[in-house]
Chains A and B, each alone.
Chain A
Amino acid sequence: MLDWLQFVLAPQVVNGLSIGVAVVLMALGLTIIFGLLDVINMAHGEFYAIGAYAALALIGVGLPFWWALALTPLLMAAVGYATERALIQRVFHSKDRHTLTLLLTFGIAIVLEDILKIVFGANPLRIEQPITGATEMFGLFFPNYRLFLMAVGAVVIAAVWLVVFRTRLGAMVRAAAFDRHMAASLGVPVSVVYAGTFAFGVALAGLSGVLLAPIYSVFPTMGRDFVLIAFSVVIIGGMGSIKGAVIAGLLLTQVQSISSLVISPVWSDPLLFGIMVLVLMWRPHGLFGRLGHG
C-alpha cells in the first residue's frame, strides 16, 4: 500500500501538476481576454503554436533557448496588439459582438494553421530541452525541465495576479472591464487598454508555446492540443476569473491524471466534459466570478 502511494500515486500527482501548470498557462490568457474584452478567442491555440515556431526560428538563427524564451512573448505581444487593432476592433462595437468575434478568431485560427504548414512543413519538429537530467526526491524520479516548468508557471501566475490586482495598470484594466463608459470618462484610454490586454493574453499563449515545445514537440496543428481543455477550465473556473482558471486548471488535470490509473485513458476527456456539465448545472457562471466583478 505504501509502495503504491509512493511509486504509483505520488508520481501521478506530480505529473498531473506539471500538465496542470501547462493548462493554466493556456487558460490564463484565454480568461483574461474574455474577462476584459468579452471576446472568446478561438485562435488562442494558434497563437500558442506561433509562439513555439517563433522560438524554433530564433533558436534556428543561433540564439540560445533563454533568449528565445524572453523574446517570444514580446514578439507575440506585438502580434496580438496588431491583431486586435487591425481585425478585432472592426467588429468589436457591433451588436453581434459575440458571434462576429467568435467567427473572426475562428477564421484567424484556420488561416494561421495553414500558414504554419506552408512555411514550416507538416512534419513535426522539436526544440531540444535546455535543462536535461532528472532529480530524485523521496524515491520519486522527476525530470528537471518539468520542475523548472512548474517553477516558471508559479512565477507567471503570481506575476499576472500581482499586475491585475495590485498595480495602477491592473486597476485601469479592471475598471475598463467593469464599466468602460465610466472608465473612459475618468480618463482611462479604453481602446488602448483593450488592445494591450489582448496583446498580453496572446503573449501568455506564446510563452506557453515556448515553454511546452521541448516536451510536446512543434507541428502545425499543435494549437488544438491544449485549447479544448483550456476552454473547459475557463468555463468551469468562471469565464474571466483568474483565480477560477488556476484552481479549475490544477483540479481538472489532477482528476484526469489520477483517474487514468483506474479507468481507460480514453475516458479522461468524457470525464472532463462530464464535470463541466455538472458544474454548469450547479453554477451556470462557473466556480468564480468575472474579472473586474470579483
Chain B
Amino acid sequence: MNRHHLNSLAAALAIAAPLAASAQTAPIRVGVVTPLSGTYAGIGQQVKWGLDLAAAQINAAGGVMGRKLELVYEDEEANPAVATQKAEKLFQVGKVDFLTGTVNSGSTLAVGQVAERNNRLIATTVSFADSITADKCSPNVFRVNARAGMQSAALADWMASTQKNANVFYLGPDYEMGRSTVAAFKAAAEGKGAKTAGEVFAPLDNKDYSPYFGQIRGARPTVIYTSVAGNDTVRLFTQMAEFGVNRNVQVVGASGTVTSQNLGAIGKAADGFVTGVGYSSSIDSQENRKFVADFEAANKSKPDLYGADSYGVLFFYKAAVEKAKSTDTDKLREAMRGLQWATPQGNKTMRAGDHQAMQDMYAVKVEGGQFRIVGKVAAEAAIGPDACTRF
C-alpha cells in the first residue's frame, strides 16, 4: 500500500469517526403533542413546564446513556383530529423516538393508534379515561398518571373512613363524562357500604341548580357527590352556599371539579370539598419539596398533578432506556413493563398487564383556597383489576 492510499484511508477515517460517534451522542428526540391553545391550554402549560424542567435536569446530569433529551412540541388544540396529524408528522418527519403530552382522552386513544402504525411508544401523563388502559388498551400506549377509577377508589376509601353508612346524592352533568364518573364513584362507594340517596343529571352549562335543591334536601343525604366542571362548578357551589344545601353535608367530587382555574371564582364556597387525586403539591416528602421548589423557581407557579406527572414521565423513559440499553421499540416496551421508577410523589410501578402505572392515591380537601391531604390509599388497593385483554 503506497503513501497515497494510506493518506486517503486516514482521511476517510477522519471523516467517518465523528459520524460513528454521533449515533451514540446525538440527542434522543421526544415528541410532545399537547394543547398549547384552546380550552385545555392551562393543562398544556403545566405539561410543558413539567417536561421542560425534567429535560433540563436530566441533561444537566449527563442525559440518558450519555445522550441529551430534546423536546419537540406540537399544538394539538385539544382536538383528536389535529393530534393525530401532529403525531404522524412528529413520527414521520420529526423522527422522534418517543411521544407524550396528550391531554384529551380521545386524543390519547387516537395518537395511540398512530403510534402502533409507526411502531413507536407513547405515554400519557394527563388522560383519565379508564378505557385507555382497560378495554381500549394498546401495546404501544403507557399511562404514568392515575386513572379515574383510582381517583374514585381513593375518595370512596376516605369517605368510608370518615362516615359510617354514608348516604350519597349524585349530581352529574348529563353527558358521557358526567354519567361515567357518577357510575364509577357510585360503584366504588357502594362497594364500601355507602347507600345511594338519589341522583340527578343536569344539562351541561346549566344556569341555575336551585330547581334540584328541593329534591336533594328531600333525599336527606350526608354526602353530595358531583362531577360538574368549569363554570358549572362555580354556579353549583355558589348556589348551594346561597341556599344552605351544603350545611352539615360533605361535598365531594371528581378531580376535575375544582381546579386552580375556577377555585378563585368559587372562593369560600369551595371550602371543605374533598376529591381523590394522584398528586398534590402538599405531599410531605423530601423529593416532593425539592420538586415543588425547583418548579416554582423555574415557572413562578406551583405544579399541579399534570405538571408533576409530566415531569415524572421523562424519568420513566430514562429508566426504561437505561434498563433496555437501547431506544429500540420492542426492547423498550419489555423494559417498561414492570418498571419501577422514582417520581416527586414517590415510587411508581408500571403494571405489565395493562400498562397502567400503580401509585399511592390521596384524598385532598380544600381549605382556605389550598388543597390539603386528608387521606391516602396504597397503590395496590387503588389500582383495581387488570381489564386489558389485548396483550
User: Contacts A16-B211, A216-B207, A217-B231 given: A123-B239 contact, CB under 8 Å?
Assistant: no
Q: Which B residues touch A214, using CB under 8 A?
A: 238
> Which B167-208 residues have C-beta < 8 A from chain A?
174, 200-203, 205-208
A124 touches B230 (CB 8 A): yes
Whether B203 contacts A217 by the Cβ 8 Å rule is no
Q: Which one of B1-9, B72-80, B92-100, B258-266 contacts A?
A: B258-266
For chain A, residues 222 to 262, give those with C-beta under 8 angstroms from any C-beta of chain B.
225-226, 256-257, 260-261
Interface residue tally for chain A (C-beta within 8 Å):
37
Stretch at the interface among B48-56, B103-111, B212-220: B212-220
Q: Tell me the bound Cα distance from A11 to B211 in angstroms.
A: 8
Flag if A8 contacts B214 (CB, 8 Å).
Answer: yes
Evaluate contact between B213 and A11: CB separation under 8 angstroms: yes
Q: Which of A7, A18, A122, A143 lies in contact with B214, CB distance below 8 A?
A: A7
Beta-carbon contact of B235 and A217 below 8 Å: yes
Across-interface contacts of A219 in B (CB, < 8 A): 231
Contacts A7-B214, A261-B214; A126 near B243 (Cβ below 8 A): no
Given contacts A11-B214, A265-B206, contact A216 B201 (CB under 8 A): no
Q: Hey, which chain A residues are within 8 Å of B217, CB to CB?
A: 7
Partner of A15, one of B206, B211, B218, B234: B211
Q: Is there a chain B Cβ closer than 8 Å to A99's Cβ?
A: no
Contact code string A198-217 (vs B, CB < 8 Å = 1, else 0): 00000000000000001111
Residues of A within 8 A of B266 (CB): 126
Q: Which residues of A contact B384 (CB under 8 A)?
A: none
* Residues in A whose Cβ lies below 8 Å from that of B214: 7-9, 11-12, 15, 261
B207 & A225 in contact (Cβ 8 Å cutoff): yes
Query: Is the pair A19, B208 in contact by a Cβ cutoff of 8 Å?
Result: yes
On chain B, the residues within 8 Å of A261 by CB distance are 211, 214-215
Q: Contact between B243 and A134 (Cβ–Cβ < 8 Å)? A: yes
B212 touches A260 (CB 8 A): yes
* A256 contact set on B, CB distance < 8 A: 211
Most buried by A among B174, B214, B218: B214
Asked whether A191 is an interface residue with its Cβ less than 8 Å from the other chain, the reply is: no
Q: What is the CB-to-nearest-CB distance from A226 to chain B, in angstroms, rounded to a whole number?
A: 7
Which of B208, B211, B244, B264 touches A141 (beta carbons < 8 Å)?
A: B244
**A143 contacts B211, C-beta separation under 8 Å:** no
Contact string against B for A residues 120-144, beta-carbon threshold 8 Å, 1 for contact and 0 otherwise = 0011111011000010000001110
A65 at the interface (CB under 8 A from B): no
Which residue of chain B has its CB nearest to the CB of A229?
B207
- Within B206-252, the residues touching A (CB, 8 Å) are 206-208, 210-215, 217-218, 230-231, 234-235, 238-239, 242-244
Contacts of A260 in B (CB 8 A): 211-212
Point out residues on B near A: beta carbons under 8 Å: 39, 174, 200-203, 205-208, 210-215, 217-218, 230-231, 234-235, 238-239, 242-244, 261-262, 264-267
What are 16 inter-chain pairs, A to B, with CB distance below 8 A?
A: A11-B214, A12-B211, A15-B208, A18-B210, A125-B264, A126-B266, A128-B267, A141-B244, A215-B239, A217-B231, A219-B231, A260-B212, A265-B174, A265-B202, A265-B206, A266-B201
Q: 5 other contacts beyond A8-B215, A142-B243, with CB at 8 A cut-off?
A: A19-B210, A215-B208, A260-B211, A261-B215, A265-B202
